[in-house]
Structure 1
Amino acid sequence: MASVHPRNKNIPFGGITVVFGDDFRQILPVIPKASRTEVVQSSNIRLGCVRNAEENQKIAEFAKWVLDVGDSKVQDIHPDNIYKDPEIIIPWKYLVEKKTNTVKDIVDVTYPDFTKNYTIESYLKERAILTPTNAIVHEVC
C-alpha cells in the first residue's frame, strides 16, 4: 500500500481497514461509514427477515441451537475423546436430505426456484452457502 501513498508504509495493514472475527456465530457485516449502532442493528436483523411466524419460529429455534453448540450446552457424544474435539448429533430437521448429489441438494435447498428469483435482491440477500476453500466454491458453482 506504500505505492498508493508513502504514509501507508508505517501504518498497520497499510492503512486498510481489516475486520477480524473469532466467534463462529458471527458473520460480520461490512457497512461503509456505518456507526456502531447501525452495524449492531444490521447484525440483529439477519435472522429475523422471514415473512411469517412459523418460519420465524423455526429460525429462532435453529439460532438457539447454534448458540448452544457454541456455548458447549449441547452434549458431546464422546466426552472422553482424547483429542478434545467435541462430537455432537445434529438434529435431522437441520440436515439437508441427500437425494442425488450432495452439492446440488445443498444449492437446491438454499436457492429454491433460483431461475425465477435470481433477479430479486431480497432473495439473494437472505441466502448464502459458506465454503472453506475456493476449490469448493468452484464445485458449488
Structure 2
Amino acid sequence: MAHKNCFEAVDRTLRDILQIEDPQNAEKPFGGKVVVLGGDFRQILPVVRKGRREDIVQSSISKSYLWNDCHVFKLQTNMRLLQGNMSEIETSSIKDFSEWILKIGNGELGEGDGDNNISIPSDLIIQPSENPMQDIIDNTYPNLENKFTDPSYLQDRAILAPTNEVVEELNDYIVSSLNGEVHEYLSSYFICKASSNVPD
C-alpha cells in the first residue's frame, strides 16, 4: 500500500494544474478528476522507516484528508468460482478456502485480543519429514522433472520465501535436482564502451 503522502502529492498537483482551466478545481479533490484506487487494507501497510505502529497506521490513506471524499466499493463475487471448467469438488474447495481466508482477515477466527492462534486445516499443511525442502518442492511442483520445460506449468505455481537467501537456496536445490545442461545467463547495468556500436 502506498503512503498517504503519495496520494496527497497527486491531489495537490492535479489541483494546481487543473485550476488553470477552472479556478474551482483548486477546491476539488484531485482537481475534480475521478481517481480509482484499488487495494486491500488486509495487505501490506505502508513502510515507514523506523516508524512505530502508530506512525505506520497514520501513513495509511484512510488517515488522509482525502479519505472523507472517498467512496469504498467492496468486491462481492469470487470470479474464480464462476469459471465453467472446474468440477464441483474444485469449486467447493476454492470457496471454502476463500471463506477461511476472509474470516482470518476479518478477525473472526481465534480467540481473545491481540495475537491469536489459528488452526490451519490439515489439507493445507505439508506433513514434515527428514527433508522439508524437498517436501515443499514436491507439493508445489509435482512431477517437476518431467514438466520443468512447460512454461504454463511453472506460471501456475510459486514458492514464497522470507528472504533472498532462502530463495537462492531453493533455486540451487531445484536446479541441482534437474537433469540437463546448465546455462548461466549474465546481465549488466552498464554497456561496455569497448563495443563499436555504442555512442559516447
Partner of 2:116: 86
Task: Quote the Cα distance in structure 2 between the aligned partners of 1:129 and 1:20.
Answer: 23
Structure 1 residue aligned with 2:42, among 20, 23, 26?
A: 23
Q: Distance in 2 between matches of 1:93 and 1:114?
A: 21
State the distance in 2 between where 1:105 and 1:129 align.
12
Residues 21-70 of structure 1: CA distance to partner in whole angstroms, max 9, x if unpaired?
A: 75349xxxxxxxxxxxxxx9xx9549x69743323322221222112111
Give 2:162's aligned residue.
132
Q: Matched residues in 2 for 1:67 and 1:49: separation?
A: 23
Cα deviation, residue 85, structure 1: 2.0
Inter-partner Cα distance in structure 2 for 1:86 and 1:109: 27
- Give the 3 Å change call, closer, same or farther, for CA 21–71 of structure 1 in structure 2: closer
Specify the SS of the correspondent of 1:96.
coil
Alignment check: 8 A CA contact 1:68 1:74 kept = yes
Q: Report the equivalent of 2:183.
A: none
Contact 1:111-1:127 at 8 Å conserved across structures = yes
Distance across 1 between alignment mates of 2:144 and 2:42? 31
Matched, 1:59 2:94: yes
Q: Report how far residue 20 of structure 1 moved.
A: 8.1
Cα distance between partner residues in 2 of 1:20 and 1:73: 21
Percent identity over the alignment is: 30
Structure 1 segments, 4+ long, off by >6 Å, are: none
Q: Runs of 5+ in structure 2 lacking a partner?
A: 1-8, 11-37, 45-74, 172-200
Report if aligned partners of 1:50, 1:56 keep a CA contact under 8 Å in 2.
Answer: no
Give a deviation string over 1:89-141, Cα, whole Å, max 9, x none.
Answer: 11212111112222211111010001111222322222111112101112222
Q: Secondary structure at the residue paired with 1:75?
A: coil
Q: Return the alpha-carbon distance in structure 2 between the equivalents of residues 57 and 110 of structure 1.
A: 21
AA aligned to 1:52 is S
What TM-score do you get using the length of structure 1 for normalisation? 0.57
Paired residue for 1:98? 128
Contact 1:104 1:140 (8 Å CA) reproduced:
no
Give the AA of the match of 2:42: D
Q: Is the 8 A contact 1:117 1:123 kept in 2?
A: yes
Provide the TM-score with structure 2 as the length reference.
Answer: 0.42
